[in-house]
């Protein structure tokens, strides 16, 4: 139900947003006496896209929070001792930083597509704006995916090993079918880690911070020559940080049925 609701809202906003963006672009072209389609600069497309993304995220947040389908709470993370909270948050950021470093060589392959390359270069040059928009997107996506859908599945059938494995495979398949065709290997690892992070904490906050850190590092690396060393260094950082992120929550995680 949550997935269908989110898809319905998304399709509605995309339909209205696409029609509005096309109308505005055509109006500007006509006003300037240009041919239709002239107003299609990267800045225009990103600007219009960002507006509708924020509107979509605002609607999804309002619906899911208003109807109490999900929430931005600290979940099972204890308030005391504070060291547990900091270890979980710092560990998650470090794990996702490692995954971002691992992704750089794979990410560079997708830069062969001219549109993708132009988009990521623009995001690199407008880093703060891009990170803010991506933070809104990640917060909303995690609220829906983890805070609503995965939570409901785990409460209905608390079999975390099976549920998280199936979820990871689905996310990897989606990544394989999308433009980011080089990412399935990293995607399944990220989905596994984030799934277990949610299982342990029942909070989307660490996941949101980790995703923002992932994009920040990945965009900062745009233009840096890629090599196999990134895979090794990223793997070591991510692997070493998993225990820092999950071990402090071991006494507080839900008991498996």
Is 55 in the same domain as 83? no
Q: Would you say residue 257 lies in a domain?
A: no
**Lookup result for tokens 């950021």:** 93
Q: Look at residue 31 and tell me whether its pLDDT is greater than 50.
A: no
- Give the model confidence (pLDDT) of 182-213 as tens digits: 567 788 899 999 999 999 999 999 999 999 99
Q: How many domains, the chain?
A: 2
pLDDT band at 226 (very low <50, low <70, confident <90, very high): confident
Structural domain of residue 230, as residue ranges? 76-252
Whether residue 48 has pLDDT greater than 50: yes
Q: Which of 160, 206, 211 is nearest to 190 (CA)?
A: 211
Q: pLDDT of 61-96, one tens digit each?
A: 998 898 888 899 999 999 888 899 999 999 999 999
Same domain, 85 and 65: no
Q: Which of 40, 69, 98 is the last residue of a domain?
A: 69
The label of the residue with tokens 């547990």 reads: 84
C-alpha to C-alpha distance for 5 and 74, rounded to whole angstroms: 25
What is the mean pLDDT of the segment spanning 226-242? 90
Same domain as 176, residue 236: yes
Neighbours of 79 (CB within 10 A): 8
Alpha-carbon span 194 to 112, nearest angstrom: 29
The pLDDT, as a whole number, for residue 27 is 45
Q: What is the pLDDT of residues 151-186, one digit of tens each?
A: 988 888 888 899 999 988 888 787 766 655 456 778
- Same-domain status, 95 and 44: no
Pair 248, 204 in one domain:
yes
Alpha-carbon gap, residue 14 to 11, rounded angstroms: 5
Q: Quick check: is 90 in a domain?
A: yes
Considering the domain architecture, whether residues 173 and 230 belong to the same structural domain is answered as yes
């Amino acid at each position: 139900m949550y997935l269908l609701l989110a898809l319905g809202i998304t399709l509605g906003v995309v339909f209205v947003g696409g029609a509005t963006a096309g109308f505005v672009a055509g109006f500007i072209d006509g006003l300037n006496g240009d041919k239709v389609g002239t107003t299609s600069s990267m800045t225009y497309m990103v600007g219009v896209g960002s507006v509708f993304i924020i509107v979509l995220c605002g609607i999804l947040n309002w619906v899911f929070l208003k109807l109490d389908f999900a929430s931005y709470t600290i979940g099972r993370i204890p308030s005391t001792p504070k060291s547990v909270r900091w270890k979980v948050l710092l560990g998650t950021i470090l794990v996702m930083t490692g995954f971002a470093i691992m992704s750089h060589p794979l990410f560079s392959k997708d830069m062969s597509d001219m549109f993708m390359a132009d988009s990521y270069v623009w995001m690199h040059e407008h880093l703060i704006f891009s990170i803010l928009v991506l933070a809104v997107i990640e917060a909303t996506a995690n609220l829906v995916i983890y805070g609503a859908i995965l939570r409901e599945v785990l409460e209905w059938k608390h079999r975390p090993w099976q549920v998280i494995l199936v979820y990871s495979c689905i996310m990897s398949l989606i990544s394989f079918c999308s433009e980011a065709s080089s990412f399935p290997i990293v995607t399944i690892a990220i989905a596994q880690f984030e799934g277990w992070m949610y299982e342990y904490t029942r909070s989307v906050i660490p996941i949101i911070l980790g995703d923002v850190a992932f994009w920040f590092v990945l965009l900062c690396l745009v233009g840096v020559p890629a090599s196999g060393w990134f895979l090794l260094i990223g793997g070591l950082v991510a692997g070493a940080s998993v225990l820092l992120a999950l071990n402090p929550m071991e006494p507080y995680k839900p008991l498996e049925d």
